[in-house]
Structure 1
Amino acid sequence: MTVKERQDLLLPLFEHMTTLSRESIPPDQRDERLREVGILHRGTLFSCFHEKHLAEATRLYEILHDAKDFEDFFALAKQARDIVNEGLFVYAVSVAVLHRDDCKGVTVPPIQEIFPDRFIPAETINLASKEATLKPNEDVVVDVEETGNILDPEHTLAYYREDIGINAHHWHWHIAYPATWNPSHMGAVKDRKGELFFYMHQQMCARYDCERLSNGMNRMIPFHNFEEHLEGYAPHLTSLISGLNYGSRPEGFSLRDLKDVDVQDMERWRERILESIHLGYVHGHGEERIPLDEKHGTDILGAIIESSFESKNSTFYGSLHNWGHVMMARMHDPDGRFQENPGVMSDTSTALRDPIFYRWHRFIDNIFQDYKATLPHYTKDDLSFDGIKVTDVVVKAKSDNVITTFMKEDELDLSHGINFGTNHKVKVRYQHLDHEPFSISITVNNTTGAAKECIVRIFLAPQYDELGNLLTIEEGRRLFIELDKFKQTLAAGQSSFSRNAIDSNVTLSKVPTFDDLKSGEVSDDYSEFCSCGWPENMLIPRGNHKGKPFVLFVLLTDFEKDKVPDFQRICMDAFSYCGTKTGMYPDLKPMGFPFDRPIDHDHADELFTDNHHRSTVTIQYVS
């Protein structure tokens, strides 16, 4: 069976998920292996943060992963579609497809086309339904509705938080790195999974603050008090599998106890994690003490905080991150007395819409930063590359060192996810942030007398804070966003090379739609991609109309010191945020190096030697 034939078999399983009936196959007629699933009712909003939901989803993706061949896998998936919760089904099948050897080259369609109701306001979907009814014999395109106004200061950033691409990225990252991934059962290790959890979310926070500063707003205030009264938020989303709105959070609500977890549990887990950071070790089982050393500490903490299958002691340290998402999503109806849907924080594909997502993750990141502060500062030897001098860096766009951003019009097809009773297309027209094409040209003088291989690390950060004060490299350290990281051979003497932004190892530029996958109009090399990565159009912060100055930081490090032995690249996309699915993370340096830990402010200029370059780049937004 060809890849195209397998793709054609699987695609219908993901269509019209919002209109499945609630009837299921009776237990005595099911495949024996599926007797243990079908617990979470259809119409319930599935959450991979909720312990019980995730346990059932894990059982299903493990069953699907264990199927003896593709035909067996397909038969199980097809039957499961008539049994299990809609969101749970898509999550579990997606995990299985991404990790089965016989599904290599098969692509799960975009989550925004499977469940468009998670991305498009209810008002817009209602309008599209009316238009499709009135015009059954023609294609329909409607414009997306606004979800708020300037009375809410946070509405300024709605274009960012509600961006379809970044929400889809977050959903797919949690497919690539399921919290419950059991290496012994699945037959592969997710290398540095806990550290990737830290780094990907830290970068989301950095990007959000870059966006806030671009819009003249203060940097966010981290969540820090389990009793604090939170800002309100209304998502304007309605779940079509239940017919209920995603829950809104009125202004002034705070966390409340749930049936499964108390606020006091959260406080206790936080204190235990912080205590372990200050002690320098975490408690394993019994008397075991596991050191939070320089090499493994971030990875160990990431597993504990999430908490993932690899948490060293989930009974003691709990599940701080995941239950935090669930509690924030349920504070409007904590005991379920009103049978309301949870809010968007319960779902990886909607959580980024809520401003509290970023405040919560800055709180989580602050815990990691407490640990990072216990590590020694990087020394000159850690940062230098003898004989290598970066003499010039230029951003090549329409104007040198000026990147223009703008809003670009795009369309989302609703008709694969929602049955409008017509064979014609029903689409939503919306706008998203984008930037002009650009490349980064780097000139290097290699005085070693021989060719050298290096890792090029490129970062971007605001030059000034909200008051117009120049940010030192330590003050702005946590605002640096990674633009790219790649291997480069440096010829002896002076040489130049250029890197196109579209080739960034942070971003994903290939997102085939349902129609692309059905027609087979996908490039031959797409089988080497894993569909995980930050959206390419959101690589650069918005900037402002005047032109906002940013620091472009380029660092060249020695590939011989950074390379991973016997490295095999499994995925060809965005490894900085997404690793390589089941291979080794292709860089021995800590993720985010050299900004992952505090920098000695008094000696910063001495630390960064000839192998680095700092310059000013202007980002200008054109409306």
Structure 2
Amino acid sequence: MALLDKQKKIIDLFYHLSTPPMTEGAGEMGEHMDARLHNLGSTPRRIVFSVFHEKHLKEATELFEILIAAKDFDDFYKLSQQARSFVNVELFAYSLSVAILHRDDCKGIQLPSIQEIFPDRFVPFETIYNAFRVAQGGGGGKDGILVKIAHTGNILDPEYKLAYYREDLGINGHHWHWHLVYPASWRSEVMGKKKDRKGELFFYMHQQMVARYDQERLANGMQRMKPFHNWDEPMEGYAPHLTSLVDGQHYGVRPTGMKMSDVKDVDIQDMMRWRDRFMDAVNLGYVIDRKGQRVDLTTETGIDVLGALVESSYDSINAAYYGSLHNWGHVIMASAHDPDGRYQENPGVMCDTSTALRDPIFYRWHKWMDEMFQTYKSTLPSYSKTQLMFPSVKVNNVTLNASIPNVVGTFWKTAELEMSEGINFGKKGSVKCQYQHIDHEPFSYLIEVDNANFKSKHATVRIFMAAKHDELGNEIPLDDQRRMMIELDKFKAEIPPGKSSIKRASKDSSVIVKKDLSIAQLRAGETGGANKETCSCGWPEHLLVPRGNHRGMVFDLVVILTDWEEDKATDTASKCLCKDAVSYCGSKDEKYPDKKPMGFPFDRKIGFNRLSNFLTPNMKSTEVRILFKEN
């Protein structure tokens, strides 16, 4: 079957999932249902699905394993059609997406945008309701219906300043897609494909989100976050203004002052016990496996073991003992307004990977987990000069080139989201919502290098950025600043002997998702092609750098060159096409392409208070400013 035909069939499986026909159901199929699907359907069809909920995830795993094991594409498609008609709608979308990303006969197929599949997870219901009113009233021009997105709060809430960031469609879509590429329940021995360094990547990707959020707070004149760590601590409130069209109920609202409470499947005491056991492992330097044996946390594998432990993924070395701190935390916080279910309310947005980043508590929760990981990192020795250096290679100068050198301009940009692919408005034609997001001008790096060797060298170029000043305008001590370093890019470059320069455009960054095509474009045949497959995983390009402020917020830009021959994970060329954002998403089903610890060299304590004292000849820093232009 041609790639375009496969692409169109896949799109049809996702069409109008938000508002499926009421006549669908397993009962309609009877004896015609494939026997492989008989055990499915335990999760009610019209409730909010949560990948963090143990029972939901168990059924989702069973479904995606069945779909991945289908004998050919036709078998896979028929199974998907049947499953769509009776399993939980959101669970189906999750499992189908995981299967598409991991089936060999789906290479080249691009997943439809989750924002278009489930607009109700991204667009306030006031906006969707307004679109329904216009559609039912016969409104809309020749280009269809266009409505403006509604705001979810006002300045009475201090956290409202960052609503534009937390509720950004791109970062919430990124979080959803990351958990598709790295499902917590992925069983390597069943799937035949190992997720290399998955636990470490769980740590690093979330650490980067926390670092970015803290600097966005500084850009808005706010304090950096205080980690959530006290189980009896009142939480800030959040009202998402989202309504699940699958069940017709709104996502739960959490009033200010609510606390974590026991839920049906887990108690706060369980969470406390798991935390203490995790910290015991960090402080003792080893974990206890399922057989009661001691497993040392080595410098090479320790963070990977701990990441799997916290999530807790299938790779957890002892889930029965160390529990599932991360996942159940999401569930408990999402249930704070109705912990025992007496009011039959929907959970809050923390239950869903595509909505969780909207909630301020998400970042405080993950900053607390990052504190635990950093406690482990503090037990490792600081890097020596020998470990940091690239002999005979020197970085002479670094310039960030934009309209003004070393100044990046940011601004508001208007965009549109097609909602009619996911929602049946009872009218043919386009129905879009219009919204604004922060964007930045294109920029590039010019790195001037001196190679004193007699032959060319291959280098790994690492580019980081962190705010220079804290909330009070004081310079941030280096050991605090290192944890705020956001990775902007990482790539391979050839350095000839003598003086040369390396140029790199911001649009080529190794952390951003490459351009996603809309469903309309995919229907029209604009597929990525078998040699241009993307995972749809990666940070949105428009938020590559923080917003900055009106004065020009000062950042330290740091470039490090290391020896590619020492860094490369394998000697063979990668065959993986799904590697559009390797820094955050890895190279799907292959080894993570960089042997060094993620975040190197800022992942460990630094014994210097100033950046200039830390830098070796193969590193260079320069001050850059990010200037926010309101209009």
TM class by shorter chain equals over 0.9
Matching of residue 107 in structure 1 with residue 110 in structure 2 = yes
Q: Is this contact kept in 2: 1:533–1:577, CA < 8 A?
A: yes
Q: Is this contact kept in 1: 2:107–2:530, CA < 8 A?
A: no
3-state DSSP of counterpart to 1:564: coil
Give the counterpart of 1:589 among 549, 571, 596: 596
Q: Match for 2:169: what amino acid?
A: I
Q: Is this contact kept in 2: 1:137–1:422, CA < 8 A?
A: no
1:71 to partner: Cα distance: 0.4
After superposition, the C-alpha distances for 1:476-507 in whole angstroms (9 at most, x for unaligned) are 11111000000001110000121000000000
3-state DSSP of counterpart to 1:87: helix
Where does residue 540 of structure 2 map in the other structure? 535
Where does residue 419 of structure 1 map in the other structure? 424
Where does residue 605 of structure 2 map in the other structure? 598
Paired with 1:302 and 1:287, the residues of 2 have a C-alpha distance of 20
Q: Is this contact kept in 2: 1:462–1:479, CA < 8 A?
A: yes
1:525 to partner: Cα distance: 6.3
1:132 to partner: Cα distance: 1.3
Paired with 2:191 and 2:563, the residues of 1 have a C-alpha distance of 34
Paired with 2:610 and 2:230, the residues of 1 have a C-alpha distance of 35
3-state DSSP of counterpart to 2:255: coil
Q: Match for 1:416: what amino acid?
A: E
1:28 to partner: Cα distance: 3.9
3-state DSSP of counterpart to 1:268: helix
Aligned counterparts, 1:462-611, within 5 A = 462-524=467-529, 527-567=532-572, 568-570=574-576, 571-601=578-608, 605-611=612-618
Distance change in 2, residues 1:279/1:425 (3 Å): same
Q: Is this contact kept in 2: 1:460–1:552, CA < 8 A?
A: yes
Paired with 1:192 and 1:524, the residues of 2 have a C-alpha distance of 28
Aligned counterparts, 1:372-383, within 5 A = 372-383=377-388
3-state DSSP of counterpart to 1:185: helix
1:301 to partner: Cα distance: 0.4
Residues matched between the structures, number: 623
Q: Match for 1:595: what amino acid?
A: F
Matching of residue 142 in structure 1 with residue 143 in structure 2 = no
Give the counterpart of 1:321 among 289, 312, 326: 326
Distance change in 2, residues 1:60/1:98 (3 Å): same
Q: Match for 1:611: what amino acid?
A: N
| Root mean square deviation, CA, Å | 1.2
After superposition, the C-alpha distances for 1:53-101 in whole angstroms (9 at most, x for unaligned) are 0000000000000000000000000000001001000000000000000
Paired with 2:367 and 2:20, the residues of 1 have a C-alpha distance of 38
Matching of residue 312 in structure 1 with residue 317 in structure 2 = yes
Paired with 2:519 and 2:138, the residues of 1 have a C-alpha distance of 23
3-state DSSP of counterpart to 2:427: coil
Unaligned runs of 5+ in 2: none
Matching of residue 34 in structure 1 with residue 37 in structure 2 = yes
Q: Is this contact kept in 1: 2:477–2:610, CA < 8 A?
A: no
Where does residue 164 of structure 2 map in the other structure? 159
Unaligned runs of 5+ in 1: none
1:523 to partner: Cα distance: 4.3
Q: What is the TM-score when the length of structure 2 is the normalising length? A: 0.97
1:601 to partner: Cα distance: 2.3
Paired with 2:302 and 2:136, the residues of 1 have a C-alpha distance of 57
Distance change in 2, residues 1:155/1:574 (3 Å): same
Q: Is this contact kept in 2: 1:6–1:106, CA < 8 A?
A: yes
1:606 to partner: Cα distance: 4.7
Q: Is this contact kept in 2: 1:136–1:422, CA < 8 A?
A: no
Aligned counterparts, 1:127-276, within 5 A = 127-135=130-138, 138=141, 139-276=144-281
1:282 to partner: Cα distance: 0.3
Q: Match for 1:578: what amino acid?
A: C
Paired with 2:322 and 2:247, the residues of 1 have a C-alpha distance of 34
Q: What is the TM-score when the length of structure 1 is the normalising length? A: 0.98
After superposition, the C-alpha distances for 1:251-304 in whole angstroms (9 at most, x for unaligned) are 111000011000000000000000011110000023311111000001000111
Paired with 2:348 and 2:140, the residues of 1 have a C-alpha distance of 37
After superposition, the C-alpha distances for 1:500-539 in whole angstroms (9 at most, x for unaligned) are 0000000013111110110012344663322111011110
Q: Is this contact kept in 2: 1:206–1:479, CA < 8 A?
A: yes
Give the counterpart of 1:123 among 122, 126, 150: 126
Paired with 1:210 and 1:606, the residues of 2 have a C-alpha distance of 23
1:44 to partner: Cα distance: 0.4
Paired with 2:173 and 2:465, the residues of 1 have a C-alpha distance of 23
Matching of residue 12 in structure 1 with residue 8 in structure 2 = no
3-state DSSP of counterpart to 1:461: strand
Q: Match for 1:111: what amino acid?
A: I
1:619 to partner: Cα distance: 0.2
Paired with 2:480 and 2:416, the residues of 1 have a C-alpha distance of 40
Paired with 2:609 and 2:53, the residues of 1 have a C-alpha distance of 45
